[in-house]
Structure formats: C-alpha cells, structure tokens
C-alpha cells in the first residue's frame, strides 16, 4: 500500500463548479499535512497547510481527519487558472528536516 | 531574497554515463533535499543534506549520491545512468528549526537515451 494515495483523476469541471479531492495516508505517525499545486512541467508550490480544525484560504478549504487518516481539499467557484495537478503531502515532523511524502497527484481541468 | 535555483534546466545523457545536477538553496535555508519525479508520479524523496552531511535517504541505490557545500548549495550525482532515471529532479531547501517551509527549485529535466 502506498504511503499517500490519491485519485489521479482527471477531474474535468466547468467554471464555477465546486470540486473536492481526497487523500489517505498510511503512516499514523504523520505530523504535518499539506496540499501542493503543480502546473504542467513546473515545480510543486505550497497551496496550503492542513490542520485538524480545518482551514480556509479564499475559495480553498482543507480538512484533516486524523482518526481516518484522511485529508481533503475543496475548491469553490472553480476558475480556469485552477487547472493543475494537486499533490497531497504528509511528513513525519513539524520541522524542516524530515522528507515530504507525496501522493501521485490529482489532475484538475477547469473548462470554460 | 533569492529562491532555489537549479542547473541545468534540461539535460540529455546516454545510458551508462554519469551526471551532476546543481542546486543553490534559498537564502537563510540550511537544509537541502532532492526529489525525483517520474512522469505521472509524485516526487519521490532521494536524500537530504544538513551541515554538509546526509541525514536522510529514500529508497534509491548508492549510485545516487550527493554533496552539500559550506554555503548550503548542493549537488546530486548519478552514476551508471539507466533509462528509468529519466525524470524531473527537484531540489528543495528548508530550515531545520522553526516553522515548516520547503521551497522548490524549478527542477532539472533529465532524459536518458
């Protein structure tokens, strides 16, 4: 079983739609959780951190369920510019010296 | 504040050759990690360097090796290249202490033919 599993998609949604991505992780010792965004042939960029209390950044809402080892990302009012691959990422520590463990990513295409 | 820079951006090598990829970390960051991203996959951790020592390694063979220099820049060396080594190689810098924050370079795309 992979450490971080995501539905690879693609998710093809119209502009303005709401779309949700899910991710599960296998290491119960994981401490920090993130969503990264990766545009085609570019490097991953941090979209947002994920907390148990849930957190929101504009149209993006992330949620963590430690008991189920499940992470989600909700995008409301999708824009064409949201088209990208979304990578679910976990790590075993809250400091910067433990490796990031990436899922394969979920591809989103927002269509006009 | 400068970000993470990697060189070269693209590279084509022949199977069996050796390659060196370079990374300059973000100003103030003392830790460098290397990741391999094959097509259609998420990045996979290769190894990490802190204070010029390797302090973590993923599931990669010994022909993948690295260095970190006193200015925190780093090199990734791959010997005896195989076709499956074709990938995007990403360097990320971070601070060991303090808040989480990895900054990725734009990567080196290696093609082995």
Looking at the complex, report in whole angstroms how far the Cα of residue B52 sits from the nearest Cα belonging to chain A: 13
| C-alpha distance from residue A35 to each of A15, A59, A76 (Å) | 21, 14, 16
pLDDT of residue B96: 64
pLDDT of residue A83: 98
pLDDT of residue B100: 60
Residues in chain B predicted with pLDDT less than 70, given as ranges, are 1-2, 96-100
Closest chain A residue to B47 measured between Cα atoms? A99
Closest chain B residue to A44 measured between Cα atoms? B104
DSSP A80-104: GGG-EEEEEEEES-SSTTS--EE--
CB contact (8 A) between residue B42 and residue A4: yes
Pairing of strands B108-112, B10-13: parallel
Q: Which of A3, A88, A97, A103 to mutate to test the interface with B (most CBs of B within 10 A)?
A: A97
CB contact (8 A) between residue B100 and residue A96: yes
State how far the Cα of A1 lies from the Cα of A28, in Å rounded to an integer: 14
pLDDT of residue B27: 84
pLDDT of residue A55: 92
A47-57 residue pLDDT tens: 999 988 889 99
The yes-or-no verdict on residue A24 having pLDDT over 70 is yes
The total of other beta-carbon atoms located within 10 Å of residue A5's CB is: 15
If one compares B59 and A31, the residue with the highest pLDDT of the two is B59
pLDDT of residue B102: 86
Give contacts of B53 with chain A, Cβ < 8 Å: none
């Amino acid at each position: 079983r992979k450490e971080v599993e995501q539905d690879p998609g693609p998710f093809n949604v119209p502009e303005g739609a709401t779309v949700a991505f899910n991710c599960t992780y296998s290491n119960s010792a994981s401490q920090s959780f993130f969503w990264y965004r990766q545009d085609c042939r570019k490097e991953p960029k941090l979209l947002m951190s994920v907390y148990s209390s849930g957190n929101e950044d504009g149209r993006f809402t992330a949620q963590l369920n430690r008991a189920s080892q499940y992470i989600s990302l909700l995008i409301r009012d999708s824009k064409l510019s949201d088209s990208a691959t979304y990578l679910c990422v976990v790590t075993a520590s809250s400091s910067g010296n433990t490796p990031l463990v990436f899922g394969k990513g979920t591809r989103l295409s927002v269509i006009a | 504040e400068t970000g993470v820079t990697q060189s070269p951006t693209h590279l084509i090598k022949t199977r069996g050759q050796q390659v060196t990829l370079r990374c300059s970390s973000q100003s103030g960051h003392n830790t460098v990690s290397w990741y391999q991203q094959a097509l259609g996959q998420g990045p996979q951790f290769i190894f990490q360097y802190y204070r010029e020592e390797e302090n973590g390694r993923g599931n990669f063979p010994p022909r993948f090796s690295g260095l970190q220099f006193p200015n925190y820049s780093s090199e990734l060396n791959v010997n005896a290249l195989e076709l499956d080594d074709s990938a995007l190689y990403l360097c990320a810098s971070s601070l060991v202490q303090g808040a989480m924050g990895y900054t990725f370079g734009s990567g080196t795309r290696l093609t082995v033919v």
